[in-house]
Chains A and B, each alone.
Chain A
Amino acid sequence: MSEILVDIKNMTFKRNERVIYDGISLSIPKGKITAIMGPSGIGKTTLLRLIGGQIKPESGQILFDGHDIPQLSRNDLYEVRKRMSMLFQSGALFTDMSVYDNIAFPIREHTELSEDIIEKMVLMKLEAVGLRGARGLRPSELSGGMARRAALARSIALDPELILYDEPFAGQDPISMGVIVRLIQDLGQALGLTSVVVSHDVPEVMSIADYIYIIAEQKIIGQGTPEEIYRQTSPLVQQFVKGESDGPVPFHFPAAPYREELIGRGSK
């Protein structure tokens, strides 16, 4: 396996006594697209926030290029964050700025470049996501797919080493889904980016990921290249990959017996 950029070791995370991750370990190789899949609500986004240092695990290590993220001081954490970037599910564009200013924002914040150079950089990023013509629009004037592409342009504005995609395909029509799949792939190759894609859209992820982790029930239940995942025999992995409604992950939320609730406990 190639060099590791993010290495999570034996990490446990709890939210209000509820265990979200129970001693999981996973590694994200440099320059590859790693996908993290799993049913909704198992804390996939939480994992990205843990990598970004926005929340801290109960125990275990999260190493980013050798730095243990939870142990970093505030200043060091901010330094490390300059090397990573996150594409939020909502895009999280600043609504009080135009698309252009949104993309120029991180450059203006972290560099002392002149506006001439910033303009060229912003236009290059916008061109990469096909939105050079939309530079003057406000985020509220963009469609969902365009907003996500603009947010993608913003997250690559400072050429990060690692980019964390939070559900990049959720709620997209087939065309913009295709566009985003292509962008993630192209950007990864062209810039040598390490990408982590959190998603539950099986076919899209299978088509671009180099390596896949499937998480359920606080643990990693399956991992491998897309071909290996398809070949795995674990019923949980198969249920997820094939999208079956019932199986090891039950269709029903835990409840009292149906019969008992309908006709009552005491009735005969």
Chain B
Amino acid sequence: MQQLQILGHTIIGQISGLGRALLMLLSALFHMPNPRKGFPLLLNQLYSVGVLSLVIILVSGLFIGMVLALQGYTILVGYGAEASLGPMVALSLLRELGPVVSALLFAGRAGSALTAEIGLMKATEQLSSLEMMAVDPLRRVVAPRFWAGFISLPLLAAIFSAVGILGAHLVGVDWLGVDSGTFWSVMQAQVSFEKDILNGIIKSVVFAFVVTWIAVYKGYACEPTSEGISRATTSTVVQSSLLVLGLDFVLTALMFAN
């Protein structure tokens, strides 16, 4: 009986948490600061959320492209199909690895930082003091961070895929001797804009929404203690990573099955 009660409590807690997260998101989105004050805030956040994540995205993209080319080449060359290296790498990156890996890296690099920052602002009463100054923290703190994440991640994913393809070119063409013309032309012929590039972009937009939403909500709703912040930061990374991977499967099934 008691276990049933605990189960009920947990479920109600989860659902009301989801409701609160939704309400927070709606009020953050519908109470945009006026453009003159809001734009500098957004630019600031685009810098700290987006530009500062560039290094990790560039380096990871490059290495993942290089590894893909190396692995792909050793398999394809056995069938004499090394000409397909270009499309293989491009399709893997554009459809899957670009959106997914950049979302995972983004959750670790920027998502955790957003949660910790907002959580610490809550713990040090900065959010309360904004409220008491009649400044809505959702508008002033949460909204610019949410938009910055939502805008940054799809761009970062695109950069990730582009750098990955360059990395694959470096390994496949410059080191392993695949013909450069073949590499690019077969890739161009096989990659379709609508099916591959657009679907990849849709994926990264969905992931951007999910990761940033979780990050700002966890910070905003965290228990304002050092332990609470650390728990919130961890659960941002864990939950958004799991959700990205799960959603990736669902989206892939919807987009590419049959």
By a beta-carbon cutoff of 8 Å, the part of chain A in contact with chain B is 49, 52, 54, 78-79, 81-82, 84-86, 88-90, 92-95, 105-106, 108-110
B129 CB contact (under 8 Å) in A92, A108, A109, A110: A92
Can you sample 8 A-B contacts with CB below 8 Å?
Answer: A52-B131, A54-B132, A93-B126, A94-B126, A105-B133, A106-B135, A108-B37, A109-B134
On whether the beta carbons of A95 and B132 are closer than 8 Å, the reply is no
CA–CA, A54 and B37, complex, Å? 25
CA–CA, A61 and B124, complex, Å? 29
A54 CB contact (under 8 Å) in B124, B126, B128: B128
On whether the beta carbons of A84 and B132 are closer than 8 Å, the reply is yes
On whether the beta carbons of A92 and B134 are closer than 8 Å, the reply is no
On whether the beta carbons of B133 and A88 are closer than 8 Å, the reply is no
B223 at the interface (CB under 8 A from A): no
Task: Tell me if A's interface is mostly helix, strand, loop or mixed.
Answer: mixed
Measured between beta carbons, the chain B residues less than 8 angstroms from A94 are: 126
CA–CA, A93 and B128, complex, Å? 11
Digitize B35-79: 1 where CB-to-A-CB distance is under 8 Å, 0 elsewhere. Answer: 001000000000000000000000000000000000000000000
CA–CA, A108 and B135, complex, Å? 11
Measured between beta carbons, the chain B residues less than 8 angstroms from A108 are: 37
B174 at the interface (CB under 8 A from A): no
On whether the beta carbons of B125 and A88 are closer than 8 Å, the reply is yes
On whether the beta carbons of B133 and A85 are closer than 8 Å, the reply is yes
On whether the beta carbons of B125 and A54 are closer than 8 Å, the reply is no
By a beta-carbon cutoff of 8 Å, the part of chain B in contact with chain A is 37, 124-126, 128-129, 131-136
Measured between beta carbons, the chain B residues less than 8 angstroms from A93 are: 126
B252 to chain A minimum Cβ distance, whole angstroms, is 40
On whether the beta carbons of A81 and B131 are closer than 8 Å, the reply is yes
Measured between beta carbons, the chain A residues less than 8 angstroms from B37 are: 108-109
Q: Closest chain A residue to B131 by CB distance? A: A54
CA–CA, A228 and B133, complex, Å? 35
On whether the beta carbons of A85 and B126 are closer than 8 Å, the reply is no
B133 CB contact (under 8 Å) in A89, A90, A95, A109: A109
On whether the beta carbons of A109 and B135 are closer than 8 Å, the reply is yes
Q: Closest chain B residue to A164 by CB distance? A: B132
On whether the beta carbons of B134 and A81 are closer than 8 Å, the reply is yes
On whether the beta carbons of B133 and A106 are closer than 8 Å, the reply is yes
CA–CA, A240 and B126, complex, Å? 32
On whether the beta carbons of B124 and A52 are closer than 8 Å, the reply is no
Measured between beta carbons, the chain B residues less than 8 angstroms from A52 are: 131-132
- Given A92-B124, A95-B124, residue A86 in contact with residue B129 (CB < 8 A): yes
On whether the beta carbons of A79 and B132 are closer than 8 Å, the reply is no
A90 CB contact (under 8 Å) in B125, B131, B136: B125
Q: Closest chain B residue to A83 by CB distance? A: B134
Measured between beta carbons, the chain A residues less than 8 angstroms from B128 are: 49, 54, 88, 92
Q: Closest chain B residue to A84 by CB distance? A: B132
On whether the beta carbons of A82 and B134 are closer than 8 Å, the reply is yes
On whether the beta carbons of A110 and B134 are closer than 8 Å, the reply is yes
Q: Closest chain A residue to B126 by CB distance? A: A92
CA–CA, A86 and B132, complex, Å? 7
CA–CA, A173 and B129, complex, Å? 24
CA–CA, A49 and B129, complex, Å? 11
CA–CA, A211 and B113, complex, Å? 46
B29 to chain A minimum Cβ distance, whole angstroms, is 16
A79 to chain B minimum Cβ distance, whole angstroms, is 7
Q: Closest chain A residue to B140 by CB distance? A: A109
Q: Closest chain B residue to A77 by CB distance? A: B134
CA–CA, A108 and B133, complex, Å? 12
- Given A54-B131, A81-B131, residue A92 in contact with residue B125 (CB < 8 A): yes
Measured between beta carbons, the chain A residues less than 8 angstroms from B124 are: 90, 92, 95
CA–CA, A108 and B131, complex, Å? 15
On whether the beta carbons of B131 and A79 are closer than 8 Å, the reply is no
